[in-house]
Amino acid sequence: MLEMLFCECEQRGKWNSTNEDVKRVASKVGFGNQYDATKVDTISVLPETIRQRGYCVAHVGKGKHQFIRELEKWYHIFEEIEEHEVTIWRYRKSLLNDLDTGESSVLSLVFNQHILHDFLYEDVVASPKIYVPGRTRIDLEYTVGNSRIRAVEQQMEIDLTLEYQSTVTVLEAKSSFLQDFAIYQLFHPVCFYVQKAKELKMNVKEINACYVLKQSRRRRGLAYPTTSVRLYLYTFDDV
């Protein structure tokens, strides 16, 4: 579906499209949820023909999207985790941990087991304040490579936000071990809090972002699956 939309944009010489364009093309090919069509959170979701041309999909607000030729700078490959960075965590099973496999359950697990506390603050008894902001909107203007992006009323969904000792951390989670991610997933929420901190003159020491990946595998002879989580902490110098 995305490949057909790309071809249409190329034919008319304009790389912008709207949700109406997406809906029209999706109906042609029988694509299920049109809103998932332009949600390309990892490079593997992009059609090969678009990847070969070096394009990616940028969201520019108000239900509009734009193909830009900045593929190499749009995604970030997760770093390899070294052996000395691996910790065997003493897991205490709780009542609701295994009822769901979605992104919210990933964050619930690492928070309730105090894995986040140890990773972010090196203190398992730290008491960060927790916020579930959900969806919000923001006006953005930034540069990726040679492309200037202006997004008006860009909607974003923030999975979770923590605040501890004037440090704000936005979190994104996936229930699989991805190879890479679209940087805007973390960059947009960080920009949101940077803007609010400036507008309201908040005394914020740092605003960073944490990506959490979880994978569970069932093994013969074990009653419960073996679970592994990977945590990555990022900061942006040019916000």
Among the listed residues 68, 72, 73, the one whose alpha carbon sits nearest the alpha carbon of residue 17: 68
pTM (predicted TM-score):
0.92
At 94 the pLDDT is 78
Tell me how far apart the alpha carbons of residues 126 and 165 are, in angstroms, rounded to a whole number.
Answer: 10
Eight-state DSSP code of residue 238 = -
What amino acid is encoded at 146 in this protein?
Answer: N
pLDDT tens-place values along the chain, 239 residues long: 889 899 999 999 999 999 888 888 878 877 767 667 788 999 999 999 999 999 999 999 999 999 999 999 999 999 999 999 999 998 877 777 767 777 888 999 999 999 999 999 999 999 999 998 778 999 999 999 999 999 999 999 899 999 999 999 999 999 999 999 999 999 999 999 999 999 999 999 999 999 999 998 877 766 667 889 999 999 999 88
Angle at which helices 19-29 and 2-12 cross, to 10°: 120
Q: What are phi and psi of 98, to 5 degrees?
A: -100, 15
Instruction: Identify the burial level of 161 via C-beta atoms within 10 angstroms of its C-beta, where 0-12 means exposed, 13-18 middle and 19 or more buried.
Output: buried
At which residue do the structure tokens 């140890």 appear?
118
